[in-house]
Amino acid sequence: MTDKPSKSHGRKAIRPTLKPRELLTPTPDLHGVWKAKIISLFPSAFPGVLGESLTGKALQEGLWQLETVDLRQFGVGKHRNVDDTPAGGGAGMVLRADVLGEAIEHTMTGVQGKWPLIYLSPRGRRMDQRMVQNLARCDGMTLLCGRFEGVDERVLEHYGIQEVSLGDFVMTGGEIAAQALIDATVRLLPGVLGNQASAEEESFSSGLLEHPQYTRPAEWKGRPIPDVLMSGHHGRIAEWRHEMSEQITRERRPDLWDCYQKTRDD
């Protein structure tokens, strides 16, 4: 016997979840496997790129799970409206509190352990490696993908939702940001990358940007691979890589460099 879930069980975890109705047979969850739940008006956008490469393979193998919840199913009235005009006037539409509340409570039913509820928002804390490292240690997470002018503020307050931003810009919805956050988190889960050293040596893991990488051919368009990387001297290679990481971080990301220096001094 083995504790590793079968591939068929991993595939079963990929499905859109609609509002419960009679005769709907629930898909069994994989016990103890990290899971991302997505509340979105466009559940068909998932898994998207998450179904490709290493994250897609890990999804099929049951190393993580994905569940989508169609927000439209919780809409009100004949046309299942999910939004309304902003109180006090203004352009655009705002996602309704009653619709979002019902969707969130349905999605979070049965959730156990450390399970953050996150709203992808340009006014939230910017994603960084420390954030996704913490998320990878959770039991799972639920992501709310906004649209239009955003969501009713009372929902964020009532459920204590954490706001997270992909960067200092505005997008038409939270789906792309949600996929980015999931991808960055899933690759840190045990067994996904295969080689744990890959996660330990990449950008931000040590507080620095990653050093330059090279491969064959040894010379390309008159540009050779640095001699030190061809020397076979692992100590010198490690020293060169660290020096390059410091140089690149200092030149390109002075904000990270300042944080790195403070951490090193401490």
Residues 260 and 133 occupy one common structural domain: no
Q: Domain count of the chain?
A: 2
Same domain, 141 and 35: yes
244 in the same domain as 155: no
pLDDT category of residue 15 using cuts at 50, 70 and 90: low
In this structure, the answer to whether residues 17 and 144 fall within a common structural domain is yes
Residue 198 maps to a domain: no
Asked, for residue 197, whether it belongs to a domain, the answer is no
Q: What is the 3 state secondary structure string of 221-266? A: CCEECCHHHHCCCHHHHHHHHHHHHHHHHHHHCHHHHHHHHHHHHC
- Is 239 in the same domain as 172? no
With H, G, I as helix, E, B as strand and everything else as coil, classify residue 170: coil
Residue 12 pLDDT exceeds 60: no
pLDDT digits (tens, 9 = 90+) for 179-191: 999 999 999 999 9
Q: Which of 159, 186, 213 is where one domain is finished?
A: 186
106-146 pLDDT, tens digit each: 999 999 999 999 999 999 999 999 999 999 999 999 999 99
| Co-location of 152 and 208 in the same domain | no
Q: Of 81, 224, 102, 91, whose CA–CA distance to 158 is shortest? A: 102
Same domain, 226 and 261: yes
pTM: 0.83
Contacts for 222 with CB less than 8 Å, ≥ 6 apart: none
Residue 99, burial from CB neighbour count under 10 angstroms (0-12, 13-18, 19+): buried
pLDDT value of position 154 = 97
19 CB burial (10 A radius; 0-12, 13-18, 19+) = middle
Query: Considering the domain boundaries, does residue 103 fall inside one?
Result: yes
What CATH number is associated with residue 207?
Answer: 1.10.1270.20
- Cα 95-99-104 angle, rounded to 5 deg: 105
41 and 173: one domain? yes
Q: Are residues 99 and 216 in the same domain?
A: no
> Of the candidates 129, 151, 186, which is a domain's last residue?
186
Position 240 pLDDT exceeds 60 = yes
Q: What are the pLDDT digits (tens) for 154-201?
A: 999 999 999 999 999 999 999 999 999 999 999 999 999 987 656 666
What DSSP character marks residue 208?
Answer: S
Whether the pLDDT of residue 8 is over 70: the answer is no
Q: Are 199 and 187 in contact (CB under 8 A)?
A: yes
Q: Which of 216, 87, 249, 59 is nearest to 153 (CA)?
A: 87
Residues in CB range of 110: below 8 A, 6 or more apart: none
Report phi then psi at 101, rounded to 5.
-60, -45
Q: How far apart are CA 61 and CA 4, in angstroms?
A: 8
Task: Judge whether 196 lies within some domain.
Answer: no
Written as one string, the DSSP assignment of 43-95 is GGG-SGGGGSHHHHHHHHTTSSEEEEEEGGGG-BTTTTB-EEPPTT--SS-EE
Evaluate whether 16 touches 43 at the Cβ level (below 8 Å). yes
Say whether both 77 and 169 belong to one domain: yes
Residues 159 and 227 in one domain: no
Distance CA(140)–CA(114), nearest Å, equals: 7
Q: What is the CATH classification number for the domain harbouring 174?
A: 3.40.1280.10
Q: Stretch 25-48: mean pLDDT, rounded? A: 87
Instruction: Indicate whether 126 belongs to any domain.
Output: yes
pLDDT at 196: 65
What domain range is 43 assigned to?
7-186
Range with lowest mean pLDDT among 13-17, 43-47, 71-75, 121-125: 13-17
| Cβ neighbours of 112 (radius 10 Å) | 7
220 and 180, same structural domain?
A: no
Residue 149 lies in a domain: yes
